Structure 1
Amino acid sequence: MSQTSLNLVAVSIFLVTLSSLAGPLFNLSPTVPAIATFSLLGLATLDSFGLQGKGGALVVDTLARISPQYRDRIVHHEAGHFLMARLLDIPVTGYALSAWEALKQKQPGQGGVSFADDELASELRQGALSAQLLDRYCTIWMAGIAAERLVYDNAEGGADDLSKLCTVLAPLGFSPAALEQKQRFCALQARTLLRENWTAYEALVQAMQRGDSVAECYAVIDVIRNC
């Protein structure tokens, strides 16, 4: 069961407990929390076994996006990935800043920046991944966290990025210590590149907030870098 589905189950249990305590005080019929609990449990089951976590992610993301701070963090995080991919010559194929956009684009999870990773997949299948290509992708994956830390002094997102990095590095024989060292090195690389291209980064954030296409975002970055 996905973490989102587990969260829905936890909310259901909370509703049952709350209704048993507060129901008599407000003359609340036991039917109301029972229906709500049944609905949430049903959604959790459907989400886990039928939608591969997409339904719960959509609900959680939609509620979270009420907060302007949450929306700002998302776009700043994803702009870090986008700019880093452009700087390191990894083609961006699309981006989604919400679970709903991701669902429409048939992307997994709550969205993000999609890359053309054919070269990476090919080298992984052959078991001959070059150190240069590995560093490029690891730097791109760490760029979202690096961007958040530069803008907000901390990072709330990035769990999926770290998971992706671990998924690639662990089969290559990286020990936990070596994996952590690679994370720190690539995060530092991303931080340095972001600082060196900060004006382009800020312009890209605005372009992504407007919903510009990938080509339009490329143009924004390139114009500033070529000035």
Structure 2
Amino acid sequence: MSQTALNLTAIAIFLMTMTALLGPIFNLSPTLPAIATFSLLGLATLDSFSLQGKGGTLVLDWLASFSPQHRDRIIRHEAGHFLVAHLLGIPVTGYALSAWEALQQKQPGQGGVSFDDTEVASQLAQGTISAQLLDRYCTIWMAGIAAETLVYDCAEGGTDDRQHLHTVLSSLGFSATSVELKQRFCSLQARNLLQQNWTAYEALVTAMQKRTDVAECRSLVNSLTTINN
């Protein structure tokens, strides 16, 4: 079962427990929590096996979107990926800031920044990758976490980013210790790039809030990083 389906199941159990406890106080029929729980469990099962978790992801993302801070964290996280990728010469091809936008763009999960990863995919398919290119991508993968940490002192997102980095490095034969060291090094690299180009980062956040297209975002970053550097 997907993580999203598990989340829906947890919500169903929580609702059942709460309604069972509060039912007598508000004179609610015991049938209501049972119906609600079985309905949510049924939806979770359907979503897991028929929709590959997309339905639940949309629902949970929609609920989370009511939090202004949650929306802001997502934008700042993805702006970190976007800016660092651009600075390191990896072309950004698109971005999605919600599960619904991701679905519309045929991206998996809750969205994110899309890159032209033809070169790295080709090298990984051959079982090798240049150290320089590997460092660039690892820095990009850690840039969202670095951006969140700079703004909020901690990162709530980035689990998939860490997992992606871990999977790639492990497939290349890196030990667990080496993976940890690489993650820390690239996090620091991403942090430094963001701090050095903070004006461009803030401008990019504003542009992405307005859903400015990728070409305009690139032009904006180019104009500001040229001035700053």
Q: Distance in 2 between matches of 1:216 and 1:169?
A: 33
Q: Distance in 2 between matches of 1:81 and 1:179?
A: 20
Q: TM-score, normalised by structure 2?
A: 0.96
SS at match of 1:93: strand
Q: Please report how far the alpha carbon of residue 32 of structure 1 lies from its aligned counterpart in structure 2 after TM superposition.
A: 2.3
Equivalent residue, structure 1, for 2:62: 62
Say whether 1:126 aligns with 2:122. no
Amino acid at match of 1:213: D
Q: Please report how far the alpha carbon of residue 38 of structure 1 lies from its aligned counterpart in structure 2 after TM superposition.
A: 2.0
The percentage of counterpart residues that share the same residue type is 72
Amino acid at match of 1:162: R
Q: Please report how far the alpha carbon of residue 49 of structure 1 lies from its aligned counterpart in structure 2 after TM superposition.
A: 1.0
Contact 2:16–2:36 at 8 Å: present in 1 too? no
Amino acid at match of 2:87: L
Q: TM-score, normalised by structure 1?
A: 0.97
Equivalent residue, structure 2, for 1:26: 26
Q: Please report how far the alpha carbon of residue 85 of structure 1 lies from its aligned counterpart in structure 2 after TM superposition.
A: 0.7
User: What's the CA shift string for 1:81-116, capped at 9, x where partnerless?
Assistant: 000110011111110011111111111111100111
> Please, which moves more after superposition, 63-72 or 38-47?
38-47
Q: Distance in 1 between matches of 2:32 and 2:111?
A: 34
Equivalent residue, structure 2, for 1:2: 2
Equivalent residue, structure 1, for 2:85: 85
SS at match of 1:23: helix
Q: Please report how far the alpha carbon of residue 35 of structure 1 lies from its aligned counterpart in structure 2 after TM superposition.
A: 2.5
Give the alignment of 1:139-150 within 5 angstroms. 139-150=139-150
Equivalent residue, structure 2, for 1:190: 190
Equivalent residue, structure 2, for 1:101: 101
Q: Distance in 2 between matches of 1:171 and 1:183?
A: 15
Contact 2:5–2:53 at 8 Å: present in 1 too? yes
Equivalent residue, structure 1, for 2:164: 164
SS at match of 1:226: helix
Q: Please report how far the alpha carbon of residue 31 of structure 1 lies from its aligned counterpart in structure 2 after TM superposition.
A: 3.0
RMSD: 1.0
Amino acid at match of 2:106: K
> Please, which moves more after superposition, 7-16 or 207-216?
7-16
User: How many residues align structurally?
Assistant: 227
Q: Please report how far the alpha carbon of residue 10 of structure 1 lies from its aligned counterpart in structure 2 after TM superposition.
A: 1.3
Q: Distance in 1 between matches of 2:223 and 2:96?
A: 23
> Please, which moves more after superposition, 9-18 or 210-219?
9-18
Equivalent residue, structure 2, for 1:204: 204
Q: Which structure 2 residue ranges, 5 or more long, are not aligned?
A: none
Amino acid at match of 1:86: H
Equivalent residue, structure 1, for 2:155: 155
